[in-house]
A and B are shown apart, each in its own frame.
Chain A
Amino acid sequence: MTNEQGRAAATSTRARTHEPDDGEHVAQLRMTGHRVLVADLRGETIRAVTGSMVAYEGDVTFKNAGMGGGDGFKAAFKRKMTGESLSFMEVTGHGSVHFAVDAQHITLVQLENDTMSVEASQLLAIDGQVRMDVKFSGLRGATSGQGLFTTTVSGTGTIALLSAGGPLIALGVTPQTPLVADPDAFVAFQGQLNQSFVTDVTWRSAVGGGSGEAFSLRFDGHGVVYIQPEER
């Protein structure tokens, strides 16, 4: 089977079970190609979107992480109340597990004692050191159909983000260069950013003659905004 650059798969991937154990091993999330995420597990637990496993080897179990995505009752309650519910499963064991969702591109982001706000539907997996929570994100969600709350991930570790339509685009924001983004293309942001909602509703869009860009997200401050090349 031939594979070439830009394909989902490059080489046959294997569990690295024979490496010496370095004590405090953190589950290794890595990519094979652009659309397949591999987790090498040696007893650790990672969390991934329910149903996203495409193949695995070894002794691995999949368990529903519960309503809070594995972050306890408070998170579960918030999730239930806010509608920002996304079902996660806990993946534990020894072996290698492959994940993929609808051929979407996957990007790994390292968090170093950091917080990131993510659109819940674009979060694929997080490793054991990262926590998930739900937070009020302002009024933007009310009209963009995404709910009033966003999911935040925080801690130190790796998260895997999904982007439909192509690779994720990272856009830097500084106080001199604020950014305005389409809510349907927004995936995540990181840093000291202030998010606000921009409306451009005129009599024209009210009667159906608008440009289709009536609602936008504006980011001010210092940080990075991640955008996908397809609108949800």
Chain B
Amino acid sequence: MVMEIENGKVLKTTITPGAQLTARKGSMLYYRGDVRFVPHSMGGGGGMPGFGAMAGAAGRMMQGEHVAMMTVEGQGESYFGHDGLYIDIVQLDGANQLTVEASRLLAYEGYLQTAIVPLTQQGGMRGAVRGAVTGQGMFTTQLSGQGSVAVLSHGGTFSLEVGPGHPEVVVDPQAYVGHRGPITVDLTAKVGFRDVVGKGSGEATQLKFTGQGTVWVQASEQKF
């Protein structure tokens, strides 16, 4: 299974038997060959650890971290796109996890594990507060394993390395796309008097990334 960017907004995938793909439901643009699209089984792809499959799926819907996915299998080429949004391919080498909002997932290789994790896992109550303040919700999606993930963004993304020499990267919550590797995310609120009276710089809440890894940022502050 190979993922390629056809142009900035269309993803080309090569499907072979035994190497299936999970894609956002309805995102197929066209295909060639013998390709089948099967709605994703309930709760598939991991779900909440410790829950049954059904409970996992139901839980997902309630969390707002649910985007209907489908399994793509067979033999041929299939092309995907969504809403004219730009697509980036992120490679996972098995050692690192990718954290991304479910709504930004276009497709991923079938043998990647997905898990819905509560933000409280990344910093306890502060994580929950972060989700509430930034409008991200209380849960986020993590992908792990070895393979490619196609991520959607408005206007394309650029990446920033976090690690030695770059101890701290700060990102606007609306422009944040995802991050890979052992990174700690913190909400920093520089809310001063000026922000309260509406004379702020418009950058009152920010996400602070420390640790080691990569952060992806989009060229727009539009969420979807």
Residues of chain B within 8 A (CB-CB) of A4 are: 5, 7-8
CB-CB under 8 A from A10, the residues of chain B are 158
How far is it, in angstroms, between the C-alpha of A199 and the C-alpha of B17 when the chains are bound? Answer: 65
- Residue A57 at the chain B interface, CB threshold 8 Å: yes
Q: Cβ of B169: which chain A residues have Cβ within 8 Å of it? A: 55-57
8 more CB-based (< 8 A) A-B contacts, given A8-B153, A87-B202: A1-B91, A3-B156, A7-B86, A50-B200, A56-B170, A62-B201, A64-B199, A98-B158
Is A102 on the interface with B (CB-CB < 8 A)?
yes
Partner of B156, one of A7, A57, A89, A98: A7
* Residue B155 lies at the interface, judged by CB distance under 8 Å to chain A: yes
Bits for B212-224, please: 1 = Cβ < 8 Å to A, else 0. Answer: 0011111111100
CB distance from B216 to the nearest CB of A (A): 7
> What 1/0 flags go to B85-111 for Cβ under 8 Å of A?
010111100000000000000000000
Binding site for A on B (CB under 8 A): 4-5, 7-8, 86, 88-91, 151, 153-161, 166, 168-172, 175, 194, 199-203, 214-222
Q: Given A54-B175, A55-B170, does the pair A9, B201 have CB atoms closer than 8 Å? A: no
Query: A4-B5, A54-B219 given as contacts; is B158 within 8 A of A103 (CB)?
Result: no
Q: Which residues of A contact B (CB under 8 A)?
A: 1-4, 6-10, 12-14, 32-33, 35-36, 50-57, 62-64, 66, 87, 89, 98, 100-104
- The CB with the most chain A CB atoms within 10 A, among B4, B156, B221, is that of B156
Q: Is the CB of A51 within 8 A of B86?
A: no
Contact (Cβ within 8 A) B219 A103: yes
CB of A51 within 8 A of CB of B202, answer yes
Specify the chain B residue showing the minimal Cβ separation from A15.
B166
Q: For residue A62, which residues in chain B have a CB less than 8 angstroms away from its CB?
A: 201-203
Question: Which residues on B sit within 8 Å (CB–CB) of A50?
Answer: 200-202
A51 to B173, CA, bound (A): 11
B160 touches A57 (CB 8 A): yes
| Known contacts A51-B202, A55-B170; A35/B219 CB under 8 A | yes
11 chain-A/chain-B pairs, Cβ below 8 angstroms: A4-B5, A8-B157, A13-B158, A50-B202, A51-B202, A51-B221, A54-B219, A62-B203, A100-B218, A101-B221, A103-B154
Cβ-defined partner of A33 (8 Å) among B90, B156, B202, B214: B156
Q: Which of B5, B159, B170 contacts A12 (CB 8 A)?
A: B159
In the complex, A148→B221 CA distance in Å? 30
Which residues of B are found within 8 Å of A3, using beta-carbon distances? 88, 156, 158
Whole-angstrom CA separation of A166 from B32 in the bound complex: 32
